[in-house]
């Protein structure tokens, strides 16, 4: 019987068919890139915990590189399950692993995506279109959606989305969303051992980003199930209404914190979706909340995964706006002492202290800032991958290169996700405590997001004037009487911390 070599993001039961397993911890992975300390902690804890669950059946090798880890084993006698990144698949191929099973751990298959993409017939790919196709095909939240029944084309509740219910600004008068805090693991001896292993690596010269801190995310199958239970029972009902809102003292709001166990392969998206659907069926969560959550998992997550493969390796290197600015050290290294812009400071602080922030912070603060400031896309993509506990190569292409930085020139999004302070004022409570004013464009109190937005449009006006979705913004820009002083002000700001 072949031994199955699995990676540290293939840890759940759906990767294990009962035969002998091999896991390799390759130190060079951490030496090559400066990962967040809490991310390294999570990955190693997850890996070591998995190995200790079944020591009889699992061979565990700690080596410098994967190649050394394979050592005397005969690669032809090894098998694998398709890895989640191109470099990992290439490694498996060049090492001569005997056979590789198709990928596991996804709600939809590559064939489903390929068929859908082929039918787009040269038209732009739209997540919404993919999501509706998946819902119909898998009978998710469809009218008469009995498991045995024929899927209908009618969505439950008569609507495909509940944006009007789900895009609420943060509730006034609250510093935290009125939901119980998210589930948090109790650290054990494995955490302790991993922590001291990372300390040793640091003394040997391996560098990490961010602060160490108590582990916040699930790293074992049992923990993943507890985190899922907790989210479904206590937080799902509030997920929908406030999914886009930010209260700055509440980094988690009603988000699930499930990207880590999902991306480690500890949870299958099907079980996550099934749990949410049963809450709707039992009347314990509204359709708006359940739909909003299901959309994230079978819509966005699957879409992003398939696009990574579908768009190919060249996509990751796109730089349509020719953004060449080297991101400053204060941004990359999360040094926020001199950052006065309240939104940016606290967003970077979340990353430093947690290796996590929820979606709107990632999109509308961090990547919005990088986009407006012309930070080099591949450097930013690498940063998101290293700095976030759930960062993996497959997540970066569509989320960072496409959605966040518009470096694909419009494959993912019809227009850049750039915004000024007005959006942040509406959807967050950051602006109240800020020395800047989101309405002011020029001068001491000029909001760097507002001024940055107009300076960004001005810089790329030739291209944006050809995009009809930018027409209103360009017309507004043309009416600004202070545009030239604003552009000069932002040029002078350069890469200084705002
Ligand atoms: C610039 C940028 C960078 C991102 N980097 C990552 C990343 O490194 N890893 C990552 O998993 N997600 C990433 N995302 C997507 C999303 O922000 C995170 O999945 C989410 O914030 C994780 O927190 P949560 O589990 O509490 O999510 P919830 O808000 O509770 O959402 C539920 C689940 O939906 C899935 N999901 C939702 N949106 C996406 C998406 N766009 N792409 C992939 N999965 C999605 C996640 O698995 C998540 O756990 C990024 C988004 C942007 C805009
Ligand atoms: S005023 Fe501008 S810089 Fe300050 S918090 Fe609001 S958006 Fe951010």
DSSP 8-state secondary structure symbol assigned to residue 81: E
DSSP 8-state secondary structure symbol assigned to residue 431: G
Instruction: Using the predicted structure, report yes or no on whether residue 24 has a pLDDT greater than 90.
Output: yes
Mean of the per-residue pLDDT values of the chain = 94
Question: What is this structure's pTM?
Answer: 0.96
Q: For the chain, give the longest Cα–Cα distance.
A: 75
Residue 150: what pLDDT? 59
Residue 146: what pLDDT? 52
CATH 1.10.579.10 matches 316-493: yes
Q: How far is the CA of 386 from the centre of ligand 1 (A)?
A: 15
Q: How far is the CA of 340 from the centre of ligand 2 (A)?
A: 9
Q: How far is the CA of 176 from the centre of ligand 1 (A)?
A: 21
* Ligand 1 mutation pick, 276, 380, 395, max ligand atoms within 8 A of CB: 395
* Ligand 1 mutation pick, 261, 316, 390, 391, max ligand atoms within 8 A of CB: 390
Q: Does the beta carbon of 298 sit less than 6 angstroms from any atom of ligand 1? A: no
* Distance in angstroms (rounded) separating the CA atoms of residues 450 and 470: 16
Which residues contact residue 109 at a Cβ distance below 8 angstroms, ignoring those fewer than 6 apart? Answer: none
Which residues contact residue 158 at a Cβ distance below 8 angstroms, ignoring those fewer than 6 apart? Answer: none
Residue 123: what pLDDT? 78
Q: How far is the CA of 359 from the centre of ligand 1 (A)?
A: 6
Percent pLDDT > 70 in the chain is 98
Q: How far is the CA of 49 from the centre of ligand 1 (A)?
A: 24
What residue's CA is closest to ligand 2, atom 3?
A: 341
Q: Which ligand is nearest to the CA of 344?
A: 2
Residue 354: what pLDDT? 97
* Distance in angstroms (rounded) separating the CA atoms of residues 55 and 68: 21
For the domain made up of 3-101, give the CATH fold. Answer: Rossmann fold (3.40.50)
The string of DSSP codes covering 90-110 is HHHHHTT-SEEEPP-S-SS-H
Confidence of residue 151 (pLDDT cuts 50, 70, 90): low
Strands 58-63 and 99-101: unpaired
* Cα dist from 88 to 8, 25, 92, 199, 375, whole Å: 11, 14, 6, 27, 27
Q: Does the beta carbon of 210 sit less than 6 angstroms from any atom of ligand 2? A: no
Of 26-40, 64-78, 126-140, 251-265, least confident by mean pLDDT is: 64-78
Residue 178: what pLDDT? 94
- Equal fold, 3-101 vs 316-493: no
CATH 3.30.930.10 matches 110-183+218-310: no
SS3 for 303? Answer: helix
Instruction: Using the predicted structure, report yes or no on whether residue 145 has a pLDDT greater than 70.
Output: no
Q: How far is the CA of 351 from the centre of ligand 1 (A)?
A: 14
Specify the ligand 2 atom closest to the Cα of 447. Answer: 2
Arithmetic mean of pLDDT, 67-87: 91
The string of DSSP codes covering 14-77 is GG--SS-EEEEEEHHHHHHS--BHHHHHHHHHHHHHHHHH-TTTEEEEEESSHHHHHTTS-GGG
Residue 363: what pLDDT? 96
Q: Does the beta carbon of 448 sit less than 6 angstroms from any atom of ligand 2? A: yes
Query: In 302-400, which residue ranges form alpha helices assigned H by DSSP?
Result: 302-311, 329-332, 342-354, 359-360, 368-372, 377-387, 393-396
The length of the chain in residues reads 498
pLDDT digits (tens, 9 = 90+) for 397-438: 999 999 999 999 988 888 999 999 999 999 999 999 899 999
CB atoms within 10 A of CB 72: 4
Specify the ligand 1 atom closest to the Cα of 252. Answer: 26
Q: Does the beta carbon of 452 sit less than 6 angstroms from any atom of ligand 2? A: no
Which residues contact residue 55 at a Cβ distance below 8 angstroms, ignoring those fewer than 6 apart? Answer: none
Identify which of 160, 162, 126 has the alpha carbon closest to the alpha carbon of residue 414: 126
Burial group, residue 437, by CB count within 10 angstroms (0-12, 13-18, 19+): middle
Q: How far is the CA of 289 from the centre of ligand 2 (A)?
A: 29
Confidence of residue 32 (pLDDT cuts 50, 70, 90): very high
What residue's CA is closest to ligand 1, atom 4?
A: 399
Cα-Cα end-to-end distance for the chain: 60
Instruction: Using the predicted structure, report yes or no on whether residue 120 has a pLDDT greater than 90.
Output: no
* Cα dist from 22 to 6, 15, 92, whole Å: 6, 12, 13
Q: How far is the CA of 263 from the centre of ligand 2 (A)?
A: 32
* Distance in angstroms (rounded) separating the CA atoms of residues 382 and 407: 14
Specify the ligand 2 atom closest to the Cα of 344. Answer: 8
* Distance in angstroms (rounded) separating the CA atoms of residues 242 and 130: 24
Instruction: Using the predicted structure, report yes or no on whether residue 247 has a pLDDT greater than 60.
Output: yes
Arithmetic mean of pLDDT, 445-471: 96
Domain regions of the chain by residue span:
3-101, 110-183+218-310, 316-493
Arithmetic mean of pLDDT, 473-493: 96
* Distance in angstroms (rounded) separating the CA atoms of residues 434 and 448: 11
* Cα dist from 70 to 31, 43, 361, whole Å: 19, 20, 40
Identify which of 330, 391, 380, 306 has the alpha carbon closest to the alpha carbon of residue 357: 391
What residue's CA is closest to ligand 2, atom 6?
A: 431
Cβ atoms of 168 and 253 closer than 8 Å: no
- Is the four-CA dihedral 362, 368, 371, 373 of positive or negative sign? negative
Rounded to the nearest 10 degrees, the angle between the axes of helix 269-281 and helix 287-294 is 170
Residue 433: what pLDDT? 85
* Distance in angstroms (rounded) separating the CA atoms of residues 459 and 494: 14
Instruction: Using the predicted structure, report yes or no on whether residue 122 has a pLDDT greater than 80.
Output: no
Residue 214: what pLDDT? 96
Q: How far is the CA of 18 from the centre of ligand 1 (A)?
A: 31
Instruction: Using the predicted structure, report yes or no on whether residue 148 has a pLDDT greater than 60.
Output: no
Q: Number of C-alpha atoms within 13 angstroms, CB side, residue 480?
A: 23
Confidence of residue 149 (pLDDT cuts 50, 70, 90): low
Q: Number of C-alpha atoms within 13 angstroms, CB side, residue 226?
A: 13
Residue 152: what pLDDT? 63
CB atoms within 10 A of CB 92: 21
């Amino acid at each position: 019987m072949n031994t199955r070599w699995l990676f540290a993001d293939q840890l759940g039961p759906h990767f294990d068919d009962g035969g002998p397993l091999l896991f390799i911890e390759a130190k060079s992975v951490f030496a090559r890139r400066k990962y967040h300390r809490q991310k390294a902690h999570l990955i190693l804890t997850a890996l070591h915990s998995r190995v200790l669950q079944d020591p009889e059946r699992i061979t565990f090798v700690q080596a410098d590189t994967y190649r050394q880890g394979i050592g005397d084993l005969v690669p032809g006698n090894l098998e694998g399950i398709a890895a989640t990144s191109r470099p990992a698949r290439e490694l498996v191929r060049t090492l001569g692993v005997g056979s590789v099973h198709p990928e596991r751990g996804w709600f939809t298959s590559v064939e489903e995506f390929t068929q859908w993409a082929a039918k787009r017939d040269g038209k732009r790919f739209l997540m919404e279109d993919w999501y509706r196709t998946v819902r119909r095909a898998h009978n998710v939240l469809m009218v008469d959606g009995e498991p045995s029944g024929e899927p209908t084309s009618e969505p439950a509740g008569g609507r495909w989305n509940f944006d009007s219910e789900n895009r609420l600004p943060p509730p006034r008068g609250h510093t935290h969303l009125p939901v119980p805090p998210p589930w948090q693991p109790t650290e054990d001896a494995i955490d302790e051992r991993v922590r001291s292993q990372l300390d040793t690596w640091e003394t040997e010269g391996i560098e990490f980003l961010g602060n160490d801190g108590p582990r916040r995310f699930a790293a074992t199958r049992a923990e993943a199930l507890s985190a899922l239970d907790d989210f479904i029972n206590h937080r799902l009902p509030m997920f929908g209404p406030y999914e886009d809102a930010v209260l700055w003292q509440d980094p988690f709001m009603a988000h699930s914190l499930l990207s880590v166990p999902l991306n480690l392969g500890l949870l299958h998206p099907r079980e996550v979706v099934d749990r949410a659907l049963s809450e709707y069926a039992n009347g314990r969560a509204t359709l708006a909340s359940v739909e909003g959550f299901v959309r994230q998992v079978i819509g966005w997550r699957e879409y992003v995964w398939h696009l990574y493969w579908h768009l190919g390796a060249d996509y990751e290197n796109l730089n349509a706006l020719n953004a060449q600015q080297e991101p400053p050290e204060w941004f990359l290294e999360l040094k926020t002492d001199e950052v006065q812009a309240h939104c940016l400071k606290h967003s970077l602080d979340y990353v430093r202290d947690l290796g996590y922030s929820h979606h709107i912070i990632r999109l509308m603060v961090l990547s919005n800032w990088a986009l407006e400031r012309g930070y080099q896309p591949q450097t930013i993509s690498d940063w998101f991958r290293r700095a976030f506990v759930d960062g993996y190569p497959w997540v970066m292409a569509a989320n960072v290169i496409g959605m966040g930085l518009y470096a694909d020139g419009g494959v993912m999004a019809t227009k850049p996700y750039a915004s000024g302070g007005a959006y942040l004022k509406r959807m967050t409570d950051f602006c109240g405590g800020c020395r800047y004013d989101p309405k002011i464009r020029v001068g001491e109190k000029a909001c760097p997001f507002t001024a940055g937005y107009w300076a960004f449009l001005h810089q790329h006006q030739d291209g944006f004037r050809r995009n009809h979705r930018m027409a209103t913004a360009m017309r507004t820009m043309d009416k600004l009487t202070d545009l030239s002083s604003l552009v000069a002000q932002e040029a002078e700001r350069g890469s200084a911390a705002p």
